[in-house]
Structure 1
C-alpha cells in the first residue's frame, strides 16, 4: 500500500523531532564522566565485598610495616601468600639504572620495568599554532601494563600468587639491579636486570633459590603474563597501527605474527619459542630466551578505536618458563627495548630483524638486501635523507635508461606512423575489423609496437612496491626533514583542510600534489601522438588516475611521494631531451621505410592472430549478407 504525501511528511517530522530530542537530552561529556566514576566505584565496592579479606594485600606506611614482625606478617598474609607473606606488603619505590642509550625505571612492587626512556629518540606532537613539540620517548610505560609470573605456592589456593602483588627488595650494583622477594624459609625469587653501554639489549635473569619445597609442580613451567599497551608515538596513528603487532619466533621455524589490523590470537602448540616481541612502526619491546619458552604459548593483539582510545594497540604474550626441581634454579633471558634499527636487530640474531615491516615477499628481499644497503651507502656521504632519495631516484633512472631509450624510440615510431594509420582508418572507416587487421600489418611492416613502452615501467614496478613498504618502515627517515617536510617517514602537510572532505584526512600533502601534477604532465607529453581511437576512455583515464590516487598518497610517507615526484620529473626531462636531441626522427623514418620494404616472416602468433581476424571478418560479412536477404 502506497503512503500519501502527508504520511511521508509526518514521518520525516517525527524523525527530526526524535533526533533533536536525542541531542538535547543526551548527557554532556562531564555527566558521562561522572556516571562512569560512579559505575567504577560500584564495581570496586562489589569486588571488595566478594573478595575474602585474607586475600587482599593492603597498603601500609613504612612506620606500620616496621612494626610488623615476621610472625605477624605470616599471620596477616599467610593464607593468601604462604611462604611469600614476608613480601606481601611494602612501599612501591622506583629504582633507576641507565646506560648511554636508555634509562630504565623499575618498580619494587612486582620487580618489573615501569618505563624505558630512549635517550637518542623523541616523540613529536603538534602543539599550539601547528608547531611540533619534542617530548621524551618512553616504551613499556603504560600503567595498565602487566609483566607478572604466577607462582604455584604450597598452601595457597587457586593458580598461585602473582609476582605483581609482591614487594621486592632492590639492590643496585653498577649497571645491574637485583630485585628479590624473600620467603619465610630463607629462599627468594629474584629478577636481575643488567645493562651495558652501547646496546638496548639488557640481560634479564630469574633465580629460584630454596623454592623447590615452596612451589608446587616444580620440574614443570612457571607462567609469565606480559601485557603491553603500545603508545601512539608517530603522527599518523592510523598507519602506525597497521605496522604494530605481536611477533614470535618458533625455535625451529620462521618467525610469525598476529594480525596487524584486527584483534587476533595465536596459540603455539607443540613448538617452543625463541622470542616474542611487541613491535610498532619504529620501536620494539622483545623478550628472548637463552634456551626457549616451552610449548603452549599464547600470543595476542587487541586493536582499539583510535578516535577514542589513548592507546595504539594492546599486545600480549602468555609464556611458559621452564623451571627445574633443584634447590637453586636459574633461567636466562634478554630484554630488547629500543628502536627498529636493522643492523642492530640482525646482530642479535634469531631473525629478530623480521619485526621491521619491510615485507615477506620478493619486495621485502629487495628492501633488505638492495635498497637498504644502497641508502646506507649514500647516507655515509649525504647527510640529508631527502637528497639521498633524490640521488637514489637518479641512480634508478640511469640504470633503466637503456630500456627507457627503447621505449622512447618506440613512441617516436608510433608518432611517425600516426599519419599513415589515419589514412588507413579513413579508407576503412566503416569496417573496424579491417582497421584492426591493417593496423597490425602496418605495425609488423614498419617494426613498431604500441606496447614497446611498457617494459621499463614493468621492470620498475618491483622497486615502486618495495619503496611503498620501505620508507614507512625505515627508522632512518623518522623525523628527518627535507624542504617543507619535517618527517620523511610520514606525510608532509602543506595546509590543513576540513576533516569532512573525503579521502584527504584533514590535510594536503604538497609532495603528493606535485606527484599528481607531474604524472598528468608526463602522461600528456608522452601520449600526444598515441592513437586512442579504439579505446578512447584510456586517453582520459590516464589523467583521472592521478586524481583518484591522490587521496591514497596524501597520507603516505613523504619519502615515497618525494621519490615519485622526483621520478616523474626525471621522466619528463628524459623524454624531452631524448626525443628532441638524441633521436634523429628523419633517420628513424627512413629506417622504418626500409624495414617496410623487406620481406616479413610471420611469427606463429602473428599469423594465427591475423587468421583469426580474417575469419571473424568473414563471419561478420556473412552475417551482414544474411540480414540483407531477410529484408
Structure 2
C-alpha cells in the first residue's frame, strides 16, 4: 500500500508541473489570433491554387504584404511565382488613356485593356414596349476576358507564371502608359501602350528586360493567350453571330477565318501569322505583329449550350511570340479596337479590311469596288441612307433598261403570237409533242423567242447576291433609320409575333412583306399572256414562291428588303409604261409578219432540237402502234 501511495503522489506532482508549464508557455491571445489568421490564409491560398483562381490577395495574407521584405515575399510565393514573387501581391487599379474617338481603361492587374469605349457609336437596347435605350458601346469589357503571357519561369512547376496574376506598376507619359511587373535581380516585364489622336490603332510593345536568366528554355517563343468573350451588341443577335468569328492573316497567304456558325479550331503550327482579329458584325479587336507571330492555335466557341445568355461567341487565340535569350528582348505589335470602317482598315494594310464580310468571291469584289464606292458617292450629297438605296435602285434599273426593253419586246411578241399558238393547240390538242414542235417552228418563222426575257434577270443576279452580303456587313447602314425602319442593317420589325410561328423569328418585317406583295403583283402582270399549258405548275409556283420566301427575307437587313421592294416597284412601272406607251403593238405585228416572209436559216441548236422532237414523236407513235397490236 505504501508503494501505491508514493506512486500516486508522484503522478499528481508530474501532472501539476505539466499544467504549470502549459500555462507559462501558452501563447497570448494576440499570438493565437495571428496564428489562426496565418492558418486560414494558407488554407485559402491552397484552395485557390487548386481552383486555379486568382493569385493571393492582401486580405487573406497573415500579415500586410507591403511589410514583407523581398526575401520573405520570395519565400512566401516563390514556389508559385518564382522570380516574380515580388509582383504577386498588390492592389488592382485602373489607368485611363483616351483620344477623340475612344477611351481605354487598363488594369494594373495583368497590365491589359480592361474596357474600350468607342465614343462615336452606341449600343441600342430594346426595353418593354419597344422603347429603345442608347448605351455606351464597349469592347473587350467582359469580366471573363483574358489577355496574358504564360512565362516559363525557373523554379515554377507546371506551365509557368500567368501575367494576369501579376500586379504591374503604371507610369503615364502623355498619351502613353507603361506597365511593369518587377522580377528578382532588377529585371521586369513591360507592356507599353500608346494611343495617338484620331485613331483606333494602339501602338503596343512587350519588353522582356533582364529576364534571360529568369525564364526557362522557351524554345524561342513565349505563349500569348487571348480569350475574348464577345457580348451581344446588335438587336439581331442571330444575324450578328453569323458575321462574328476569328480572322487571321498568314504571312505568306491570303486571309482566312474560323467557322462562323459552329465550334472550330485552326492549328497553325508551322504557319507564321501577321495578325489575328476577333471580329463582330461591325466591330473588330485585332492584334497585328510588327513582324510575325511564330505560330498559333485559334478556337471559336459558337455552341449556345457552351455560352452564357448574354454571350455571342468566345474567341480564343494562342499565339507564339518570338523571344530570344538576350538580356533585353522586345516584340512590337499594334492593337486595333474599333469599327469595321473599310477605308480605315484598308489604310492599316495587311488586308485587315478582309474582316468585313463582303465576301471573298466575285460578289465580294462587286461590294468592295463598285457598290461601296457608289454608296459613298451618294451619301456625299444624300443625307438619308434609305433615299440613297432608292437612288441606287433607280440607277441600276436605268443601267439595265436596254435589256429590260428587249425582254418586254419579247414578251409582247409572245402576246401578239398567242392567237396563232392557240390555233396550234387546238389542232394538236391530243399530241403535246406535236404542239411543242409546231410552236418551235412558229417561233422560228416569226423571229421570236420565249427565252428572250431571261437575260436582264440573269444580269441583275450578281447585284442581288452582292447586296445580300453588303447591307448586313457595311457599318454605313448601322442604326440608320428610314421611314419605319430604325436600323437598315437589321430587320424592320413592325409587329411582334409568337415564337411558335415557324420561320418568322418572332417578328414581322414590313419591307419583306412589301417585297412579297409586289413580287406577286409583278408576276401576275408580267405573265397574263404567257402560255403555261405545257407546265401548268409554273403558273402557281410564281405566286407561291414569294410567300414561301417571306420567312427567309423576314430577318434580313432592312436595307436589302427595301432595295428588293423598290426594284419590284420600278419593274412594275417600267413594264406598264413600256408595254402601253413605248411598244407599238401594230408595228410589232407588222414586223413579225415581215419576219415570217423572210427565208430562214436554221441554227444548229434549233435543228437539233426539232430533230430530237421528231425522233421522240416517232418513238411515241411506234410505241402506240405496238401497243395497239
With normalisation by structure 1, the TM-score equals 0.90
Is 1:543 matched with 2:543? yes
Alignment partners' CA distance in 2, 1:598 and 1:134: 72
Q: How far off its partner does 1:71 sit?
A: 2.3
Task: Quote the residue 2:590 is aligned against.
Answer: 590
- Are the aligned partners of 2:48 and 2:54 in contact in 1 as well (CA < 8 Å)? no
Does residue 303 of the first structure (1) align with residue 323 of the second (2)? Answer: no
The residue number in structure 2 matching 1:41 is none
Measure the CA separation in 2 of the matches of 1:219 and 1:129: 59
Q: 1:240-278: per-residue Cα shift (whole Å, max 9, x none)?
A: 111111111110100111111000000112211000000
Gapped runs of 5+ residues in structure 1? Answer: 1-44
- Superposition CA RMSD, Å: 1.8
The answer (yes or no) to whether the contact 1:304–1:311 under 8 Å persists in 2 is no
Give the aligned partner of residue 56 of structure 2. 58
Partners of 2:105 and 2:115 within 8 A in 1: yes
Determine if contact 1:54/1:80 at 8 Å carries over to the other structure. no
Partner of 1:521: 521
* Contact 1:447/1:595 (8 A) holds in 2: yes
Aligned to 1:230: 230
CA distance in 2, matches of 1:190, 1:46: 30
Aligned partners of 1:54 and 1:76 also within 8 Å: no
C-alpha displacement of 1:57: 3.2
Cα contact 1:93–1:108 (8 A) shared by 2: yes
Question: How far apart are 1:370 and its partner, in Å?
Answer: 0.6
Is the 1:241–1:312 contact (alpha carbons within 8 Å) kept by the matching residues of 2? Answer: yes
- Closer/same/farther in 2, CA of residues 610 and 219 from structure 1, 3 Å limit: closer
Query: Aligned partners of 2:446, 2:308: CA distance in 1, in Å?
Result: 65
Q: What displacement does 1:127 show?
A: 1.2
Distance in 2 (alpha carbons) for counterparts of 1:175 and 1:51: 37
Per-residue CA deviation, residues 169-204 of structure 1 (Å, 9 max, x unaligned), is: 011111111100011211110000100111100000
Shift, 1:612, TM fit: 1.6
1:570 is matched with which residue? 570
**C-alpha contact 1:54 1:79 (8 A) present in aligned 2:** no
Query: How far, CA to CA, are the matches of 1:78 and 1:465 in structure 2?
Result: 61
Superposition pairs of residues 602-613 of structure 1, within 5 angstroms: 602-613=602-613
User: How far did residue 78 of structure 1 move?
Assistant: 1.5
Offset of residue 625 of structure 1: 2.0
- Which stretch of the first structure deviates more once superposed, 323-332 or 351-360? 323-332
Partner of 1:368: 368
How far does residue 48 in structure 1 lie from its aligned partner after superposition?
4.7
* 2:138 counterpart of 1:108: no
Measured after TM superposition, the shift of residue 328 of structure 1 is 1.3
Other structure's SS at 1:130 match: coil
The question of whether the paired residues in 1 share the 8 Å contact of 2:188 and 2:208 is answered with yes
- Describe the superposition over 1:215-240 as per-residue Cα deviations: whole angstroms up to 9, x where unpaired: 11256101000000001011111111
Measure how far apart 1:325 and its partner are: 1.5
Give the drift of 1:211: 0.9
Normalising to structure 2: TM-score of the pair? Answer: 0.91
Whether contact under 8 Å (2:54, 2:165) holds in the other structure is no
Q: Is the 8 A contact 1:418 1:529 kept in 2?
A: yes
For each residue in 1:377-412, what CA deviation from the matched residue of structure 2 results, as whole angstroms up to 9, or x when unmatched? 111111110000000000000000000000000000
2:83 counterpart of 1:75: no
Deviates more, 1:225-234 or 1:126-135: 126-135
Q: How does 1:407-422 map to 2 (within 5 A)?
A: 407-422=407-422
Q: 2:338 maps to which residue?
A: 338
Equivalent residues of 1:74, 1:82 under 8 A apart = yes
Q: Residues 409 and 583 of structure 1 are in contact (CA less than 8 Å); yes or no, is this contact kept in structure 2?
A: yes
**1: distance between equivalents of 2:619 and 2:415?**
33
1: CA distance, partners of 2:416 / 2:332:
74
Give the CA deviation at 1:90.
0.5
1:329-388 deviations in Å (ceiling 9; x for gaps)? 111000000000100001000010110000111111110111011111111111110000
The secondary structure found in structure 1 opposite 2:129 is helix
**Residue range with higher mean Cα deviation, 479-488 or 494-503:** 494-503
Q: State the match for 2:487 in structure 1.
A: 487
User: Is the partner of 1:533 in helix, strand or coil?
Assistant: coil
Compared CA separation, residues 127 and 54, structure 1 to 2 (3 A):
closer
Aligned-partner SS, 1:275: strand
Give 1:465's aligned residue: 465
CA 406–260 in structure 1, closer or farther in 2 if over 3 Å, else same: same
Residues 469-489 of structure 1: CA distance to partner in whole angstroms, max 9, x if unpaired? Answer: 000000000000000000000
The match for 2:247 is 247
Aligned-partner Cα distance in 1 for 2:600–2:175: 82
Q: Using the alignment, how far apart are the partners of 2:54 and 2:81 within structure 1?
A: 10
Instruction: From the CA coordinates, give the structure whose radius of gyration is larger.
Output: 2
Asked whether the 8 Å contact 2:100–2:198 carries over to 1, the reply is yes
Bigger shift: 388-397 or 47-56? 47-56
Count of aligned pairs between the two proteins: 584
Q: Secondary structure at the match of 2:64?
A: helix
Query: 1:142-161 residue pairs with structure 2 within 5 A?
Result: 142-161=142-161
1:59-79 Cα deviation digits (max 9, x unpaired): 115992332222221221122
Q: Is the 8 A contact 1:57 1:77 kept in 2?
A: no
Q: Sort the Cα spacing of 1:264 and 1:46 in 2 relative to 1 into closer, same or farther, 3 A.
A: farther
Shift in Å, 1:131: 1.3
CA distance in 1, matches of 2:70, 2:54: 18
Partner of 1:141: 141
Q: Which consecutive segments of 4 or more residues in structure 1 shift more than 3 A?
A: 45-57
Contact (CA 8 Å) 1:150, 1:224: kept in 2 or not? yes
